[in-house]
Amino acid sequence: MSQTELSHSRGITAARGDTDGRVSTLALTFHRAALWLQSPRPYLMFIGFSLFLGFWYLAVEVWKLPRFAEMPGLTTVVSEWLSKNPTYGLSIFMEEYYLHIWVSTRRIAIAFFLATAIGVPLGLFLGWSKRFKQYVFPVFELLRPVPPLAWVPLAIVMFAGSETPVIFLTFLASFYATALNTMLGVESIDVSYIRAASCLGAKRWQVFRHIIVPGALPFIFTGLQISVGVAWFSLVAGEMVSGQYGLGYVINTSYTMVRYPTIIIGMVTLGIVGYVTSAAIRMLGDYMMQWRTRELALGEER
């Protein structure tokens, strides 16, 4: 086997002292992180955040711009968030804070899990079987344009209790995003792969298991990330309209009870939790699709 062919990845291997001809994924990840730190990117990021937060601080507390008169200032929010004895009752030291986070996250988890469990198989079949798509897709598309929140009154009528309607809403939005992206993923698989598998003697269900499912995986994970974002969107809406506990509820009541800094705390928390859930899915996807991560990493090198 010609040395030049493997020398490139061997180069990385040698640098790390690995002896089996294959670079570990962890090593590749560290390598990419090191490259990132050496670039100007972290410093630009710092500048960006400083500008943003700096402007907020100056506008409210130093220049006291009229438009920002009632806005809570950066220092107020931060000190409230980190204080052991918060004026309005919510900070990282308060148990209630984590209760709200937990309630919201739990709702997301249930809805998202259901949406994935139903949406992915449905999407796979919609993409795989033309017949199935002909029957099911029109009904699917019929209900899709109705925005999640428009379902709220109907959901309250249909389902008993106060938790189920909220979870149903979140489920619906998440489900559509997942199913649609999965279907798209299946349809985007290069037909050559399917043909090659047929040539090699794979039966239909084998093609489904070995070609369709792994081939659609990248799209499925993109869909899942979108789906989680949409889930949060619907959940917050649902919580603001009808619910007790949860981050949406916190933001809503903070407004009515004139606890302005808590609004910002709620928003920031939402942002963080939303980001974390999205990142978790992305990392799961990267792990499950090793072949892609490695390909992309090596591509960056070149």
Partner 1 sequence: MSASNKWSFKVSSFIVGEDFWRGIVAIIVFLIFWEIGSRSEALFGFAFPWVGQVPAPSAVLKEIYRLIQEPSFWHSGYLSTRRVLEGFFAAMLVGIPLGLAMAVSRTFYGITFPVFEVLRPIPPLAWVPAAIIFWPTQELSIAFVTFLGAFFTIVINVIGGAQSIDVRYFQAARSMGSSTFDIFRRIILPGVLPSIVVGATVGIGITWAVVVAAEMISGGGSAGSMGGAAGGGLGFFIWNSYVGGSYTQIVAGMISIGAAGYMSSAILRKIGQLLTPWLAEG
Partner 2 sequence: MTTQPAYTRSSAAVAGIAAPVCKGGVRIMDVVKRYGTQDAGVLAVDHCTFDVPAGEITVVVGPSGCGKTTLLNAIAGFHSLTSGSIYLDNEMLCGPGRLKAEPGPDRIVVFQNGALFPWKTNIENVAFGPIMQGYMTRRDAFEKARDMMADAGLRGIENNYPGEISSGVRRRVEIVRALMTDPKILLLDEPYRALDSLTKSVMHEALLETFYKNRVTIFFITHDLEEAIFLGHRVVIMTTRPCKPKKILDIDIPHPRDYNVLTTKRFREFMDETAAAVHEEATKAFAAGEKER
**Interatomic CA distance for residues 278 and 180, integer angstroms:** 18
Quote the distance between the C-alpha of residue 34 and its chain's center. 25
Stretch that binds partner 1, among 20-28, 40-48, 91-99, 215-223 (CB under 8 A): 40-48
Task: Determine the size of the site formed for partner 1 (CB under 8 A).
Answer: 70
Site string for partner 2, 161-200 (x = CB under 8 A): -----------------------------x-xx-xxxxxx
Site string for partner 1, 65-84 (x = CB under 8 A): --xx-xx-------------
Which of partner 1, partner 2, none interacts with 129 (beta carbon under 5 to 8 A by kind)?
A: none
List C-alpha distances in Å: 243 to 78, 157, 248, 296.
Answer: 27, 15, 9, 44
**Contact between 110 and partner 1 (CB under 8 A)?**
no
**Interatomic CA distance for residues 16 and 201, integer angstroms:** 41
Angle between helix 260-288 and 247-256 (nearest 10): 170
Which of partner 1, partner 2, none interacts with 58 (beta carbon under 5 to 8 A by kind)?
A: none
Which of partner 1, partner 2, none interacts with 152 (beta carbon under 5 to 8 A by kind)?
A: partner 1
**Interatomic CA distance for residues 109 and 167, integer angstroms:** 9
- Please select the residue that binds partner 1; options are 30, 36, 52, 287, rule is CB under 8 A: 52
| Minimal distance, residue 169 CB to partner 1, in Å | 10
| Minimal distance, residue 181 CB to partner 2, in Å | 18
Q: Where are the beta strands (DSSP E) in the chain?
A: none
Q: Where are the beta strands (DSSP E) in 3-85?
A: none
12: tokens are 């990385």
**Contact between 20 and partner 1 (CB under 8 A)?**
no
CA atoms in the 13 A half-sphere facing the CB of 138? 3
**Contact between 25 and partner 2 (CB under 8 A)?**
no
**Contact between 206 and partner 1 (CB under 8 A)?**
no
Which of partner 1, partner 2, none interacts with 232 (beta carbon under 5 to 8 A by kind)?
A: partner 1
- Using the minimum distance from each CB to partner 2, give the nearer residue, 68 or 193: 193
Give, as ranges, the residues between 207 and 266 that touch partner 2 (CB under 8 A): 210-211, 214-215, 217
**Contact between 29 and partner 2 (CB under 8 A)?**
no
- Please select the residue that binds partner 2; options are 59, 149, 184, 298, rule is CB under 8 A: 298
The string of DSSP codes covering 79-145 is HHHH-SS-TTS-STT-HHHHHHHHHHHHHHHHHHHHHHHHHHHHHHHHHH-HHHHHHHHHHHHHHTT
Degrees to nearest 5, angle at CA 172 with 162 and 223: 135
301: tokens are 């090198």
**Contact between 110 and partner 2 (CB under 8 A)?**
no
Task: Determine the size of the site formed for partner 2 (CB under 8 A).
Answer: 31
Give, as ranges, the residues between 121 and 160 that touch partner 1 (CB under 8 A): 131, 134-139, 142-154, 156-159
Query: One-letter amino acid identity for 164?
Result: T
**Interatomic CA distance for residues 286 and 294, integer angstroms:** 9
Name residue, tokens 């955040």. 49
Which of partner 2, partner 1, none interacts with 298 (beta carbon under 5 to 8 A by kind)?
A: partner 2
Residues that bind partner 2 (CB under 8 A): 1, 5-6, 9, 21-22, 190, 192-193, 195-203, 206, 210-211, 214-215, 217, 289-292, 294-295, 298
